[in-house]
Structure 1
Amino acid sequence: MTDLAKDAAARLAAEEGAGGQQVLDHLVDLLDLEQIEENIFRGVSPAASPVRVFGGQVAGQALVAAGRTVPTERKVHSLHAYFIRPGDPSIPIVYEVDRTRDGRSFTTRRAVAIQRGKAIFALSASFQQPEPGLDHADHMPDVPAPETLPTFAERIRGFPGLSGARTRPRPIDIRYINDPPWMTRETGAATGRNQVWMRADGSLPDEDLLHVCVLTYASDMTLLDSPLARHGVYWELDSVSGASLDHALWFHRPFRADEWFLYDTESPSASGGRGLATGRFFAADGTLIATVVQEGLLRVS
């Protein structure tokens, strides 16, 4: 990681309430890993991060590391990951990439994130040479346009308990379609379905892997709201502790992460202190672009 990227990471944490292109540029810098050996990369976290590394950050950085060992013409179509230990944002993260297989059509990579000699995160990703084939997809739900919806900052006004991590600079512009779970917990109108419009809050370079990594980063935001919402509880407002356990993403079609996409999530099950959430990403024109599944640790006392 260059000194410029480190400075950007610090500024990202310091600019409370900021948004837009400047904050997005800092996220891009965080995803710009330093290569320290042929298959070894290093990344950092924002200087004033929460007590552990944000899951979307380590997933995005691991995918960057894996992708940089793959020819650019091969596009990532799926990733499967496990969150093993909490990441410490005060020290760098080392990513070791295993070049598992280079086939005629598919390339497989495994990336392990390491701190203090121990794995904190493991990712397997598959890349494919583009080819024609069968084509069908679910239709996008009928939802209001993002420009007609309140901003995230407008949504959290009047809820002083939602300070801290959720009011830090946000490189992703999020617009809730349904009432957010911190509102429905009070009205009793909570359901297991959560719909938000998202986009990178600015312009991104024309680099396919970067757009996929930004969506990967965003995919860990709001996803576990769905199982909590079904029970009318929410992170800062109730005695809830949780963490991502695993994460899987399938990328179906090309997209730009700096254009609006719908994130439609729901929770089919919660049991044993764990909650399962599934989600679909649609481009603004209705194209299904990605699917996600995550299980999280959810403890309510």
Structure 2
Amino acid sequence: MSETEPTPQALVEDLVTLLTVERLGADHFQAPPKKDGVGRVFGGQVIAQALQAAQATIEDDKVAHSLHAYFLRGGTEGVPIDLATDRQFEGRSFANRRVVASQDGSPILNLAASFQRPEQGLEHQDPAMPDVPPPEDLPTGQEAREKVIEHYRDRLKPAQVTFFLRPRPVELRPVGSMHWTSSEPQPPRTQVWFRAVAPLPDDPALHRAVIAYASDFNLLGTAVMPHGVSWMRGELISASLDHALWFHRPARADEWLLYSTDSPWSGNGRGFNRGQIFDRNGTLVASVAQEGMIRRAREKR
């Protein structure tokens, strides 16, 4: 680590700040922009911030068990995000919240979140956790990104290299090759270990928000793997359309979690992706589904 690079703890503190929403009214919040953010707002950030706004309006012991979000417009870095929350239902066992995230008066995301008071019930789990190497046996996230940059260095501008190699608060350690570099069709399946790079506060709501943040990583790329195309080669135009997340069990986002994804279908300019998040004991802690726009980029003439 160079003297100018932030420490892992500083990176995580910045992430906690990013996911800490300010209450402006009873059900009205504002989320800060990402420090040194560039370009379009990361979708997982808006999902996590909207979830935090919804969680802040739950006044009893209910916890989030699912969320469903629609991306409406791309958000712009450097601009705060307004979060208007609607208490749509408040029951004995369940509650529901709707959040509209906006910038400069234009909605960029709609999110509905459901909350439940914890209770005992029938239990089963299927499928089993994939048999993959532990994260300690894999290259670090930084090493994986450096390998990608080396592969594409002649195609990238210096600013793109800097952006791609910037330190991150959540480390990803992919199992095997990813869609970033391959020019050959591959089965639409990936496995990635992830965790915050330093300890997080002991706040279960924050850990759910960080898992929601990380659930947008690598998911859309799974749908392009059978087609041998890549963003890194300028062959794709894409955008997330919707995102669903179900929390099954409590989990810490600062301990290694395995994110296993697959894509059973793509067509009509869209790709459908599924994800399962396991802890190291093989417990399924969350499930994810997302559909996104995927189009071949037109060649410049």
Q: Normalised by the size of structure 2, how large is the TM-score?
A: 0.90
* Alpha-carbon distance change, 164 to 84 in structure 1, aligned in 2, over 3 angstroms: farther
Match of 2:200 among 193, 201, 204: 204
Partner in structure 1 of residue 109 of structure 2: 121
* Alpha-carbon distance change, 107 to 300 in structure 1, aligned in 2, over 3 angstroms: same
Shift of 1:190: 2.2
Q: Number of residue pairs matched?
A: 285
Contact 1:204/1:258 (8 A) holds in 2: yes
Q: Distance in 2 between matches of 1:229 and 1:165?
A: 23
Partner in structure 2 of residue 7 of structure 1: none
Question: Unaligned regions of 5+ residues in structure 1, if any?
Answer: 1-14
Question: Which deviations, in whole Å up to 9, do the C-alpha atoms of 1:89-118 show, x marking residues without a partner?
Answer: 121110000011110000100010011212
Partner of 2:52, secondary structure, is helix
Shift of 1:182: 2.4
Partner in structure 2 of residue 82 of structure 1: 70
Contact 1:16/1:167 (8 A) holds in 2: no
Question: Which deviations, in whole Å up to 9, do the C-alpha atoms of 1:182-226 show, x marking residues without a partner?
Answer: 2332xx262200110011111011111100000000001111120
Q: Distance in 1 between matches of 2:65 and 2:290?
A: 17
Q: Distance in 2 between matches of 1:146 and 1:197?
A: 6
Counting only pairs closer than 5 Å after superposition, residues 1-301 of structure 1 correspond to structure 2 as 18=6, 20-71=8-59, 73-138=61-126, 139-157=128-146, 158-159=150-151, 160=153, 161=156, 163=161, 165-185=163-183, 188=184, 190-301=186-297
* Alpha-carbon distance change, 276 to 164 in structure 1, aligned in 2, over 3 angstroms: farther
Question: Unaligned regions of 5+ residues in structure 2, if any?
Answer: none
Shift of 1:17: 6.3
Q: Normalised by the size of structure 1, how large is the TM-score?
A: 0.90
Superposition CA RMSD, Å: 1.7
Q: Distance in 2 between matches of 1:45 and 1:109?
A: 23
When structure 1 is superposed on structure 2, of 66-75 and 164-173 the one drifting more is 164-173
Shift of 1:164: 5.0
Question: Which deviations, in whole Å up to 9, do the C-alpha atoms of 1:127-186 show, x marking residues without a partner?
Answer: 00000101111210111000100012211222324735432331111101121222332x
Q: Distance in 2 between matches of 1:296 and 1:166?
A: 22
When structure 1 is superposed on structure 2, of 39-48 and 193-202 the one drifting more is 39-48
When structure 1 is superposed on structure 2, of 274-283 and 16-25 the one drifting more is 16-25
Amino acid at match of 2:211: L
